[in-house]
Amino acid sequence: MATKQTEPVTIISLRKLSLGTPEPQPKEPKTFTVEDAVETIGFGRFHIALFLIMGSTGVFWLAGSLLIIGLASVVVPSIGWRWLIRVASIPGIILIVAFKFIPESARFNVSTGNTRAALATLESIARMNRAAMPEGTLVEPILEKRGRFADLLDDKYLRTTLQIWVIWLGISFAYYGIILASAELLERDLVCGSKPKVVETAGDPESQSPCHCHMFAPSDYQTMIISTVGEIALNPLNMLGINFLGRRLSLSITMGCTALFFLLLNICTSSAGLIGFLFMLRALVAANFNTIYIYTAEVYPTTTRALGMGTSGSLCRIGAMVAPFISQVLMSASFLGALCLFSSVCVICAISAFTLPIETKGRALQQIK
């Protein structure tokens, strides 16, 4: 009796069987990040409004400076400087209340786990741009590495970081120094090395005190207003310089010019000459700030960019704290000595800017270290 031969089961036949009847796989839920949502929404009316608001902040700073000078010319001679401080604090109090109604950024809300608020912000932007949101659930992106303070001082960025800190401190020192020195120059009339103004006030012992304040004349307030306008005078030329000459060379030139104009303040000149020197100094120190801000944001990678900007801002505050001791205390004792000190700091900053190891002109932003 013949027996029926069966085909042996092999691995290949089992594989064919498994391929013929695939098991259904569960679909992974769709997710997206804040960056994905921003890319999907695209450019629109929201970004135009944001550009106008952020671009005008420099004009909100200039306007505030001009407003406080104009307010001082009215309030100080009539009801005193204490009332000037009280009136000037009103906008700050209003801002404290207004901050409550300003929405938090979507990226911050996601990082703190408040995805509902982040999603509401993104949906509001999408509606304003008349665009659609990406499909899925909003999630926080996984960061492989977060920036550390030690990253600013590693071998690659050590020299750059130290020189940037010196430049930020020096620019802030010069910026607040010229603002305070302007008032000192106008009050004491030290431009030509003359003696301080003496106000004859019979029976008033405070008038003989070295700490006695002399009132500004209307022409002094006009000088302060004109010199303040100088902060935006060099902006077009500054933008051309950093794009054609590069960040390092442009900053070294403006810092060197700042040092020169500090020394020119010692020249005996007319009132128009003094206004011109103060105008150029305010223009140059503002240009210095613009250039170093751009350079610092460009030179560091994404993981350490915020740390680099934050630490530089801290050094900036140190320069601002030191400036009054030079522009108001040392200048009263030695006018030329104070000017030489300001000029020397600017020269050091110019050298530091020229010798920065990295030029960021035409360099793409670094995403990782």
DSSP structure string for 265-334: TTS---HHHHHHHHHHHHHHHHHHHHHHHHHHHHHS-HHHHHHHHHHHHHHHHHHHHHHHIIIIIIHHH-
The answer to whether 177 touches 316, Cβ cutoff 8 Å, is: no
pLDDT for residue 224 is more than 70: yes
- Tell me the percentage of the chain whose pLDDT exceeds 90: 14
pLDDT for residue 136 is more than 50: yes
Would you state the structure tokens that stand for residue 227, as one six-digit string? 């010199």
Strand positions, DSSP E, the chain: 31-32, 137-138
- Give the separation between CA 131 and CA 241, rounded to whole angstroms: 38
Q: What is this structure's pTM?
A: 0.72
Q: Minimum mean pLDDT among 36-40, 197-201, 215-219, 290-294: which range?
A: 197-201
Q: Minimum mean pLDDT among 22-31, 87-96, 99-108, 299-308: which range?
A: 22-31
Average pLDDT, the chain: 79
What type of residue sits at position 242?
A: I
pLDDT digits (tens, 9 = 90+) for 332-357: 788 888 899 999 999 999 999 999 98
- Give the separation between CA 42 and CA 330, rounded to whole angstroms: 55
Q: Minimum mean pLDDT among 10-14, 281-285, 310-314: which range?
A: 10-14
Q: How far is CA 342 from the centre of its chain?
A: 22
